[in-house]
Each structure stands twice: as C-alpha cells, then as structure tokens.
C-alpha cells in the first residue's frame, strides 16, 4: 500500500518519505515487484548472516529473487556495527558492481548501513525488515558511530518497506521486545521536544505526535501477543514503528522519538564499545531508560521551589567532561559546549516562569514509570536494570553524564538546571521501580 494509506493523518506535501509500505503475511514474493519499481534492475542485496538466513527460511521457493550463489550479495560480518568502516565498504561494493540500488535485509544496523550507503552513493534502497525491533525503518536519519560518538545523520528513507509478519514472528522474541521499548519512549521524548522549544525556541509541532498516537495505543494494547508470536501483535508493532519513523521525517529531526532516554542508551552503547563489551539491544535499554525519565519528570513536576545552582563556567565544565568521559571526551566536548552556551538564558527563563512551566508539564499527562513497566512486562521486554545487567551505581553514573553527549535539551538537563540533580538521582531510580 502507499504510505499515505497507512496513516490516518494527512501528511504534508514535498517531504522525502517512503512511497510504499507492506505489512502482513507471506510478502517475500512482493520483493521483485517493489525492487523493479524502486531500486532498479540490478540491486545489491545487503544483509548479515543471521538476517540472510531469516529471509532464506521464509523464502524457500526463492520468490524474493534473492541471489543463489552470492553474486549481488554484500554480506556484512556477524554482529556488525553501523560505523564509517562498514558504510565505506558498502559504498565501494555499490560502485564496483555498478549496482542500481540496495535491498536491505535486516533490522536496525543493516538498515542504518544501507540508508547511509545509499545516500552517499546516490542510489535508492528498499528495506525488507526481519524484526520489529526499532523505529528507524522509515526515518530520515541513520544512527552511526563516528569516532566513538553515536550520532544521527540525515539520510534518505527507503523507497519501499516490507515487514512480513511471518518473518517478524520467527525473529528472536527479544527483538520485538526491543521494538516495544523503543516505541514506548514516545511520550517522554515528545515532552523533551516540547521542553527544548519552551526554553530555547528550537521548534515544536503536534502533527508528528498525531501521526503515531493511534498506532502506539493499538500496539501497546496488543503487547501481550508479542512473546506468544501472535502475527496481529507483530503487525501492530511494525505499523507503529514505521509511523514513528515517518513522524521524524515530518518533524525534520529525531526529536519526536528520541530524548533523554535515548541519550542514556547511546551512552551505554558508546562505553560498551570502548570497553569491548557486547552491546545490549538498543530498544531494550530505551524501555528501561524511559521508566527513569518518566520518574524524573514526575519529581520535577512536584518541585515547587528549585534551588538553582550557581552558574558554571566552561573551563571547569570541560574539565569535568574530560574526567567523566575519558577517551570519549574529545568527541563529546563540541556537543556539550553548544548546549552550555545557552545555560544563562535558560536559567533566567526558569527562574521567571517555573511555576507556569510546572503546570504546563503536568498538563502533558505523561504515563508513570509503573504504567510503562507494565506494558514492557506484558510484551516480554526488560523492565528493570537487573534484566539488562546494569548495576544501580552504573545507572546513577549514566543519569549524571548522559546529558553531555548531544546538543539536545532534555529532562536530564532540566534536572541539573533546577538543582534537583545530582542529589535526586537515587530518588529517581527508586521511584522508577527499576
């Protein structure tokens, strides 16, 4: 179906959006038609070993037209990272073979590599999703690791997306659980987007939220079907995740779906890579981090008389960042300095208007941490730090430092600028129930 048929809201004209999105069962045979329409007669297939096997298991009759002997296939390594090296190798494969486009077979990492490589190579791509594990399929950004810093870079969305519920149901249950965790961040990240506009005039609009609201509600209502392998539950989640990506294109940034909770997850990812630890699923981290940020909002809405801190100076702040972030500090400092430059203006506004802002934040009616945890548990997703293998002291540390890594204002910044952090961090962890 056309993307516009997937969404109940009228989408603005002139946006670079995916053109066709198919969500349902037994869709492998649709790949040749969509490929001919959207990526040309000579596409490069991009996958990793697991996602290529997932397509093969679903496509025993080769209705997809996938290569038989590896010709036309660029196979990524096991557990690839979306970094500049893998993107460069994919671009080289496109150029060397004179390929007309890319067919990405996979989920988060494969999609990000394909999206960025297609953009840089000037060719279109389409996505065959093998798991409902993240909301980046239809977005206009790719999450890329550049010099150790997890960052989002503008990139063209796929021309077409196929999400076959039979394939989605066969994926490891943890992947759909991660998609649910990613999706549940939406109310908190939207509040952060509103907050940044309220304090910095950075822009905010309601349409992106309306695009995805109904789909999020439907997906959460059917979350219990995910661990049971229910096709309808997986299709509901897939639709909501696609529309979440569309909301980012409409907004012109990841703000409707990425706030303080994503900064926590990105920090955990970045430090795991530095230490050589295995990465956890991004969406699984986001779900638990969303509980933390929801609890933080609850505390700040209850904060009547902030004890505003003394104005910091940049030399001391930069030294703190160098010590706190170690070898990642050089990549983080430019982001932190941009945000630091607005501290005085934000604090002046907070001093003058905090009572009114409290009322406005309360009016957003954010879900509580307990409500978010209940949906995570119904969907079989991690709902505690322990399930992620994160100690409470590690979570304390992340809450104190995650605001540094990106020039985006979130509830983590507000907590420090109202003087609630760092003293209130342990209280937030307890309230979150994680």
pLDDT digits (tens, 9 = 90+) for 233-245: 999 999 999 999 9
pLDDT average, residue stretch 130-139? 94
CB 79 within 8 A of CB 272: no
Q: Are residues 137 and 259 in the same domain?
A: no
Angle at 268 between CA 267 and CA 274, to 5 degrees: 90
pLDDT digits (tens, 9 = 90+) for 25-40: 999 999 999 999 999 9
pLDDT score at 152 = 84
Residue at which a domain ends, from 146, 171, 196: 171
190 in any annotated domain? no
Residue at which a domain ends, from 171, 204, 235: 171
271 in any annotated domain? yes
CB 52 within 8 A of CB 75: yes
188 in any annotated domain? no
330 in any annotated domain? yes
Q: What is the CA radius of gyration of the chain?
A: 21
pLDDT score at 37 = 97
Residue 306 sits in a domain whose CATH number is 1.20.1090
Q: Are residues 164 and 55 in the same domain?
A: yes
pLDDT digits (tens, 9 = 90+) for 141-167: 998 988 777 788 999 999 999 999 999
216 in any annotated domain? no
Q: Are residues 126 and 265 in the same domain?
A: no
Q: Are residues 317 and 421 in the same domain?
A: yes
29 in any annotated domain? yes
Q: Does the pLDDT of residue 7 top 90, yes or no?
A: no
Domain that holds residue 341: 254-432
233 in any annotated domain? no
Q: Are residues 399 and 262 in the same domain?
A: yes
Q: Are residues 278 and 403 in the same domain?
A: yes
Q: Are residues 18 and 167 in the same domain?
A: yes
110: tokens are 């494969």
Instruction: Put residue 73 in one of left, alpha, beta given phi > 0 → left and psi -120 to 50 → alpha.
Output: beta
Give the distance between the most distant pair of CA atoms in the chain: 68
Q: What's the domain count of the chain? A: 2
The model carries a pTM of 0.93
Q: Does the pLDDT of residue 21 top 90, yes or no?
A: yes
pLDDT digits (tens, 9 = 90+) for 318-352: 999 999 999 999 999 999 999 999 999 999 999 99
Residue at which a domain ends, from 154, 171, 188: 171
Q: How many helices (H) and strands (E) does the chain have?
A: 20, 8
State how far the Cα of 231 lies from the Cα of 416, in Å rounded to an integer.
44
Taking Cα atoms as reference points, which of 258, 264, 269, 257 lies closest to residue 292?
A: 264
pLDDT score at 398 = 97
State how far the Cα of 413 lies from the Cα of 409, in Å rounded to an integer.
6
Taking Cα atoms as reference points, which of 65, 72, 254, 94 lies closest to residue 162?
A: 65
Residue 67 sits in a domain whose CATH number is 3.40.50.1970
Taking Cα atoms as reference points, which of 335, 47, 346, 295 lies closest to residue 191?
A: 295
């Amino acid at each position: 179906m056309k993307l516009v048929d997937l969404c109940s809201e009228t989408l603005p004209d002139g946006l670079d959006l995916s053109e066709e999105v198919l969500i349902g069962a037994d869709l492998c045979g649709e790949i040749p038609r969509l490929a001919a329409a959207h990526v040309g007669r000579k596409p490069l297939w991009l996958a990793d070993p697991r996602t290529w096997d997932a397509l093969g298991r679903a496509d025993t009759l080769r209705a997809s037209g996938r290569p038989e002997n590896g010709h036309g296939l660029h196979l990524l390594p096991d557990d690839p990272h979306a970094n500049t090296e893998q993107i460069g190798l994919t671009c080289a494969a496109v150029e060397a073979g004179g390929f007309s486009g890319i067919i990405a077979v996979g989920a988060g990492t494969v999609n990000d590599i394909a999206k960025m490589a297609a953009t840089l190579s000037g060719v279109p791509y389409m996505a065959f999703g093998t798991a409902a594990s993240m909301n980046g399929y239809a977005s206009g950004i790719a999450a890329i690791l550049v010099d150790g810093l997890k960052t989002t870079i503008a990139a063209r969305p796929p021309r077409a997306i196929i999400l076959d519920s039979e394939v989605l149901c066969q994926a490891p249950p943890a992947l759909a659980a991660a998609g649910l965790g990613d999706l549940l961040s939406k109310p908190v990240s939207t509040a952060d987007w509103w907050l940044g506009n309220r304090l910095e005039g950075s822009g905010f609009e309601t349409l992106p939220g309306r695009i995805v609201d109904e789909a999020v509600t439907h997906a959460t209502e059917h979350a219990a079907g995910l661990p049971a392998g229910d096709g309808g539950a997986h299709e509901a989640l897939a639709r909501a995740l696609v529309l979440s990506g569309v909301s980012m294109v409409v907004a012109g940034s990841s703000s409707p779906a990425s706030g303080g909770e994503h900064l926590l997850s990105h920090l955990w990812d970045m430090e795991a890579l530095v230490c050589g630890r295995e990465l956890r699923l991004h969406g699984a981290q986001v779900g638990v981090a969303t509980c933390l940020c929801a609890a933080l909002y609850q505390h700040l809405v209850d904060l009547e008389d902030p004890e505003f801190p003394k104005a910091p100076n940049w030399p001391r702040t930069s030294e703190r960042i160098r010590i706190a972030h170690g070898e990642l500090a050089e990549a983080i400092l430019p982001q932190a300095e941009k945000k630091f430059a607005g501290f005085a203006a934000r604090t002046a506004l907070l001093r003058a208007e905090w009572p009114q802002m409290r009322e406005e934040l309360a009016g957003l009616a954010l879900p509580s941490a307990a409500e978010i945890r209940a949906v995570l548990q119904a969907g079989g997703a991690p709902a505690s730090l322990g399930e992620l293998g994160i100690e409470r002291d590690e979570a304390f540390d992340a809450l104190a430092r995650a605001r540094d890594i990106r020039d985006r204002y979130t509830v983590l910044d507000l907590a420090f600028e109202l003087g609630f952090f760092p003293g209130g961090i342990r209280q937030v962890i307890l309230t979150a129930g994680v």
